[in-house]
Structure 1
Amino acid sequence: MHSLSPELRPIPVGSIPHTDPHRACQLTLEHFTDLPSWPQLPRRTFRENMYAQYSERFPGIVLDLEEERVWVDRAQDLDPALEALYMATIDDDLSYGELSPDYALGLHTFLEAVPQLDRELAYVKGQVTGPVSWGLTVVDGDRRPILYDEILADAVAKHLRLQARWQERILRGVCEHTIMSVDEPYMSSYGSAYVSLGREQAIEWMEEVFSGIEGIVMVHCCGNTDWSLLLATSVDILSFDAHEYAMNLALYPDEIAGFLQRGGILAWGITPKGPAAYGESVDSLVEKLLAGIDLLVEKGLHRDDVMRASLVSPSCGLGGLSEDLAERIYALTAGVSQAMRERYA
C-alpha cells in the first residue's frame, strides 16, 4: 500500500513544448510544487518524442531523425540484441534501461534542479511509454506494428520494464518517493476494428512493465477506452481526460469503487489540452470537476471517498502546443487544485 495522500494536489502529465530544459524544469517545479515530473521536450529533438525517447538499445531499432521515424529493421540479426535484453532482465541490469541526455535532457536537467530547491518534494514523477502504445507505434520494415510479433512484443514489455526501473532508481537519488507513469494513449483504440488486441494480453504486457516499478504506478490514457481493463491491473493511479471523458469513466462504478477501496487514486485531467483552455477559467474548471465527481456520486460512490482519492492534472501531454498555451494550462491546473483544496481539503 502506498503512502501518498492525494488531497486534490496538482500533478503534470509529462511533455511540454519548451526547448530550454532549464525553463521547462522551472515551470514544472513552480506549478507542481509537491508532485513534479521531469519534462519531456519533443520540440527540442525528435529523440524526445515519446516513442523515440525509449528506443535506445531496443533490438534492431532504427531512428531516422530526418524522416522523424522509429522502426525495427528485421533484416538485421536480432538474436544477439534479444539475448542481451533477456540477460539484462534476468540479471536486473538496470544500466540497460538508461536514458541518455541526448534522449532525455529534461530528465537530466531535472535531476540537477531538484537538489537546489529550498523545500523537500513529496514525490517526483517519471514516465515511460506503455507497451501497448509503443508496440503499436513502432513498426517493422513492412510497417507492421511490432506488437503483432510474439517475440518482439515480449521484448517490448521487458525493454520498457528496464527503462522504467532504471528511471525510478535515478529519481530516487533526488527524492525518496516516486511515481512512475506508464503512458498508454493507444489504449483509446482498444476494441476498435483497427487494433487486434486481446484483453488478457494487454494486461499481461502492462503488468510486465509494472513489475519493475517499486513505487507508485500510474497509467495515463488521454482518450476514451474500456476503463475496466485498466482498472483490472495493479495500477495505483488512473490518469484520464476528465474534461472530455468523465461521463465515460462513470459507466464503470463498480470497478471504480473497487479501485478506490484498495487505495487507488484518480488523477482528473480537467484542464483541456489545446485552444479550449483559452476559454476556461479556474472557476469554470472547478465546476466541471465537481460535475465529474457528481457523476460518480450519482452511481453510488461516496463524495468524500472520491475527493480524498483525487489529484488534479492537465488532460494530456502538452508537447504539441505553443509555449504560451502550455503555460496557461499549467497555471490553470495549479489554480484548480488550490481552489479545490481551499474549499474541500
Structure 2
Amino acid sequence: MSDLPDDSSVPVAPPDPWRPEERATGIGSLPGTDHHEAARLVVGELPDFPHVAELPDRGVGADMTGRACALLVDLAVEVWPSGYRVTQRPGGQHRRGTDLIARDVDALDSALGETGAAPRRVKTQVAGPWTLAAGVELRNGNRVLTDRGAVAEFTESLAEGLRLHVAELGRRTGAEVVVQIDEPTLPAVLAGSLPTPSGYGTVRTVSGTDARAGLSVLVAAAREAGAGGVVVHCCHPTPPLALLGATGADAVAVDLTALDRSASVLDALGELWDTPTELWLGLVPSVSDGRPELEALARPALDLADRLGFDRARLADRTVVTPACGLAGASPAWARAAMGRTVELARAFADPPTSW
C-alpha cells in the first residue's frame, strides 16, 4: 500500500483573491465603428478584466438585440421597418450579425496578443431571453413574447448559441469567461407595459416564476460551457432584484447612479448583498463633459454600504466597479476616461483615502 497521504485529506489552497484592478470592467458598448480600435481601447484601459466590445454604431446586427439574434441556433431573423422579425432561413442580415461577433472576438484576441496582456478573466455580453423575446417579432408582427412556445424555443436556441460563444472565447483568449446577461426590458415584461403592434393594447404580463426560469436556462448554459462567472444586469431604476438573485447567477449588476432609493429597493439590495451574490455597481457616468472627482463617483457606493449597515470593506471584496451603463453615447475621450476611472475606484475601495 502506498505511503502517500490520501489526496482527500490534503488541504486545497483557495484561489488567489482578485486584485483591485480585476474588480473593474466595462458594461459592453463603446462609440465608433472600428472593432480593432475598440478592442485596443478596452485592453489598454482594462487589461486585467477586459470585455468583448460592442459597437452599435455599426448598424444592423451590432445592437444588443441583433447580437443576440446572431447567436441563435436553428432560428433566424431578418430586419423589417418595424425591427427584427423571425424568418424561415438565415439571410445576409443574420450573417452580418454573426460576422460582427466573430470580428469582435478576433479583435480582442489580437489586442491581448499585441499588448502581452494575460488577464485571468474576460467578459462577454448577451441580451437575456426576455429582452430578446420583447425585441423580436413573429411573422404575424406580434412580439415573440406573446407566444409561450416561441419564447421557450428562442430561450433554448439562445442558450445553445451562448454555449458555443463562451467555449470559443475561452479557447481563443485562454482566460476564464464571465458572461453578462443584459435584461433592460425585464421590468416592462413583468409589468405588462409593452405595447402591441396597434399601440392600443399591451402584451401579457409574464410571471416572476416564468421570468426566473427563463433566465436560469441561460445561466445554466453559460456554466455548462465553462463560464467562470455569470452576472445578470438590469439598469432600470427599480430592477427586480430578488428575481435576478434567484436565477443562480454569481452577481447582479445595477446602475447605482439611477437606482431608486426607496426603502423597498434598498432593502432588496441589502438582502441580495447579504448572500454569496456579488454586486456590480455602475458608478461612472456613461456620458460626461468633465472629469468628476473620485470621491464624488465613490459617494453613492459609500453611502449604500453605510445605509445597509455593511462594512465599507465589502466594496473591495464583494463588488465590481463599472460605468453606469453602456458607453455607446459617450465621446471617445470620455469612453477611455470612464473605463480608467472604474479601475481607479476599485483601487480606492481596496485602499481608501483617509479623507473618506
TM over 0.5: yes
Q: CA separation in 2, counterparts of 1:302 and 1:329? A: 26
Does residue 178 of structure 1 match 2:177? yes
Q: Deviation string for 1:194-216 (max 9, x for gaps)? A: 15111010011111111111221
Kept in 2: contact 1:28–1:37 (CA 8 A): yes
The residue that corresponds to 2:78 in the other structure is 63
Of structures 1 and 2, the one scoring higher in RCO (CA 8 A, sep 6+) is 1
Trace 1:23-102 onto structure 2 (pairs within 5 A). Answer: 23-56=37-70, 61-64=76-79, 67=81, 69-73=83-87, 76=88, 100-102=98-100
Q: CA separation in 1, counterparts of 2:192 and 2:98? A: 37
Q: CA separation in 2, counterparts of 1:229 and 1:98? A: 34
Sort the Cα spacing of 1:193 and 1:209 in 2 relative to 1 into closer, same or farther, 3 A.
Answer: closer
Kept in 1: contact 2:241–2:269 (CA 8 A): no
Kept in 1: contact 2:120–2:176 (CA 8 A): yes
Trace 1:280-299 onto structure 2 (pairs within 5 A). Answer: 280-297=292-309
The residue that corresponds to 2:193 in the other structure is 194
1:225 to 239, 247, 250: 239
Q: CA separation in 1, counterparts of 2:273 and 2:77? A: 44
Report the CA distance between 1:267 and its aligned residue.
0.9
Does residue 335 of structure 1 match 2:335? no
The residue that corresponds to 1:84 in the other structure is none
More displaced stretch, 190-199 vs 119-128: 190-199
Q: CA separation in 1, counterparts of 2:311 and 2:35? A: 42
Unaligned runs of 5+ in 2: 1-13, 195-204
Q: Which AA in structure 2 matches 1:187?
A: L
2:318 to 275, 291, 309: 309
Kept in 1: contact 2:302–2:312 (CA 8 A): no
RMSD: 2.8
Report the CA distance between 1:292 and its aligned residue.
2.2
Does residue 146 of structure 1 match 2:144? yes
Sort the Cα spacing of 1:239 and 1:159 in 2 relative to 1 into closer, same or farther, 3 A.
Answer: same
Report the CA distance between 1:287 and its aligned residue.
2.2
Q: Which AA in structure 2 matches 1:146?
A: V
Secondary structure of the 2:281 match is strand
Q: Deviation string for 1:277-315 (max 9, x for gaps)? A: 636332310223211222222xxx444345410110011
Secondary structure of the 2:131 match is helix
The residue that corresponds to 1:162 in the other structure is 160
Q: Which AA in structure 2 matches 1:255?
A: E
Aligned length: 315
Kept in 2: contact 1:7–1:307 (CA 8 A): no
Kept in 2: contact 1:190–1:197 (CA 8 A): yes
Does residue 112 of structure 1 match 2:107? no
Identical aligned residues as a percent: 21
Sort the Cα spacing of 1:279 and 1:176 in 2 relative to 1 into closer, same or farther, 3 A.
Answer: closer
Report the CA distance between 1:182 and its aligned residue.
0.8
Unaligned runs of 5+ in 1: 82-96
Q: Which AA in structure 1 matches 2:114?
A: Q
Q: CA separation in 2, counterparts of 1:27 and 1:342? A: 26
Report the CA distance between 1:48 and its aligned residue.
1.0
The residue that corresponds to 2:219 in the other structure is 210
Q: CA separation in 2, counterparts of 1:49 and 1:253? A: 29
Report the CA distance between 1:126 and its aligned residue.
1.0
Report the CA distance between 1:111 and its aligned residue.
2.2
Q: CA separation in 1, counterparts of 2:54 and 2:322? A: 16
Q: Which AA in structure 1 matches 2:177?
A: T
Secondary structure of the 1:244 match is coil
Q: Deviation string for 1:220-275 (max 9, x for gaps)? A: 1111222111011101011110112173542215631443xx3x211110112234
Report the CA distance between 1:109 and its aligned residue.
1.1
Q: CA separation in 1, counterparts of 2:109 and 2:116? A: 15
| TM-score calculated relative to the size of structure 1 | 0.82
Secondary structure of the 1:63 match is strand
Kept in 1: contact 2:182–2:233 (CA 8 A): yes
Q: Which AA in structure 1 matches 2:98?
A: S
